[in-house]
Amino acid sequence: MKIIVAIKQVPSRDAQVRIAPSGNWIDETDLEWAMNEPDAHALEEALQLKEKHDGEVVVVSAGPERVAATIREALAKGADGAIHILCDDLGARDALGVAKLLAAAIQPEDPDLVLTGLQSEDLGLGQTGVILAELLGLPHATLILHVEKIETGIKVKRELEEGWFQSIEMPLPALVTMQSGGNKLRYSTLMGIKRAKTKDLRTVTAVELGVDAAPVVTLEQISAPKKQKSTQILTGSPKEAATALVEKLKTEARVL
């Protein structure tokens, strides 16, 4: 079974984000980077499928030079090979543009299954996987927690709203976008890192892939949201405080 996992390198969760002087993205100097967490779960699912059914896992990632570190991490965790789409202007492309890049690199690989993360921790669009499926002509499912191989293809467990789930069957080849938390991530090991050194890591440029398209949507400006996180202590008698709290939970936090 040949599985391709599309992964993205994003600013680490802990990173202090500042708006760049240009105003249309964050300042990337001194930023620490990490593998997008849903993508890490996609990779884990792929590795578990490989361990169960034999096969090959190849990761694909688009981005500048620094993305190579995240790709090597994926190799260290157990992927067999990798394709780095070297691209310095990823931010200038929209979801369709990025998906076209990935599709161009993935199509010749002729995979049985393509896994992506549900959405990225920076842009959070949640679309690249779905568009990629459309471009590759593959059936797809999103928000998947678990992938199981069956005779007629795969059976996946999908998360629905409010604690409901659904299972979906589809033939291979197919594309699935993975939600975080469906499986337990494995840690990087010394053995994995040592083995990764000998694995196949190919670099291809966006130009070589022949993908170029003017974006349909562009991110024009970044701004800080008006409210910063701080603790609001609600005062007054127990009844007053309770009423105020319920009001806040309804209208401000919108969790009721």
Partner 1 sequence: MMSLLPTLAEPRHFALWERALFVALAGASVYGFWQRFGPILSRVLDSKKDPGFRLFPAGKRVRQFVWEVLLQAKVIRERPLAGFAHALVFWAFCVFALVTLNHCAAIFGLAFLDPAGRVGRIYFAIAALFALACTVAIAGLFVRRFLIQPKWLGELSWESGLIALLIFTLMATYLAGFFVPAQANAVRALWWAHALTLLAFLPLIPHTKHLHLLLSPFSVFLSRGAFAQIPPLSGDEDFGLVTGRDLTRIVSLQAYSCVECGRCMEHCPANATGKELNPKEIILGLRGYLNEFGPKSEEPLLGKYASQQAAFECTTCGACEFQCPAGIEHVPILVGLRRGAVNTGAWNDAHGSKLFLALEKGSNALGLSTNERDRFIEKNALPLFDGTQEYCLWLGCMGAYDPRGREIVLALVRIMRHLRVTFGVLRKEKCSGDPVRRLGNDLLFQQLAESNLEALAQYRVKKIVAICPHCVRTIQEDWKVFGTPPEVEHHSEFLARHIEKLRVPPVPLLGPGKERIVFHDPCYLGRYRNVYDEPRQIAALAGKLVEAPRSRERSFCCGAGGGLAFLGEEKGDRVSHVRAAELAATGAGVIAAACPFCNTMFRDALAARGDGAPELMDIAQIAARGLSLEE
Partner 2 sequence: MSLFLVLEESGGKISRLSWETLAAAQRLTSAEEIVAVVVGADTAALAAEAAAKPVGKVVRVEHPLLERYTADGYCAALHQLIKSRGPAQWVVFPHTYQVRDYAPALACRMGQVLIGDVTGIEGGAVFTRQLLQGRLNGSVRHHENGPCLVSVQAGAFRAGEDDAHANAEPAPIEVFTPTLDPAQIRTRPSDPYRESAQTVDLGSAQRIVSVGRGIKGQENLPLIEALAQALDAELAASRPICDSGWLPLERQVGSSGHTVAPRLYLAIGISGAIQHLVGMKGSECIVAINKDPDAPIFEVADYGIVGDLFEVVPALTEAVKMAK
152, two tokens: 């007629």
What are the backbone dihedrals phi and psi of residue 161, each rounded to the nearest 5 degrees, phi first?
-70, 155
Our finding on whether 164 is near partner 1 (CB under 8 A) is: no
From the list partner 2, partner 1, none, partner contacted by residue 168 (C-beta under 5 to 8 A by kind)? partner 2
Nearest to 39 by CA among 96, 88, 102: 102
Nearer CB in complex with partner 1: 230/237: 230
40, two tokens: 């890490």
Work out how close the CB of 61 gets to partner 1 at its nearest, in angstroms, rounded to a whole number. Answer: 17
Nearer CB in complex with partner 2: 23/203: 23
Nearer CB in complex with partner 2: 69/249: 249
Q: Are 223 and 230 in contact (CB under 8 A)?
A: no
Work out how close the CB of 51 gets to partner 1 at its nearest, in angstroms, rounded to a whole number. Answer: 11
Residues for the chain: how many in total? 256
Q: Is the peptide bond before 111 cis (omega within 30 degrees of 0)?
A: no
Count of positions on this chain that bind partner 1 (CB under 8 A): 16
From the list partner 1, partner 2, none, partner contacted by residue 217 (C-beta under 5 to 8 A by kind)? partner 2
Our finding on whether 202 is near partner 1 (CB under 8 A) is: no
From the list partner 2, partner 1, none, partner contacted by residue 188 (C-beta under 5 to 8 A by kind)? partner 1
End-to-end CA distance of the chain: 45
**Any residues with CB less than 8 A from the CB of 25 and at least 6 apart, and which?**
19, 91, 219, 222
d(CA 139, CA 134): 8
From the list partner 2, partner 1, none, partner contacted by residue 112 (C-beta under 5 to 8 A by kind)? none
Work out how close the CB of 73 gets to partner 1 at its nearest, in angstroms, rounded to a whole number. Answer: 8
Nearer CB in complex with partner 1: 25/33: 33
Our finding on whether 192 is near partner 1 (CB under 8 A) is: yes
Q: Are 118 and 143 in contact (CB under 8 A)?
A: yes
d(CA 179, CA 171): 20
The interface mask with partner 1, positions 1-40, x = CB under 8 A, is: -----------xxx-x-----------------x------
List interacting residues with partner 1 (CB under 8 A).
12-14, 16, 34, 184-194
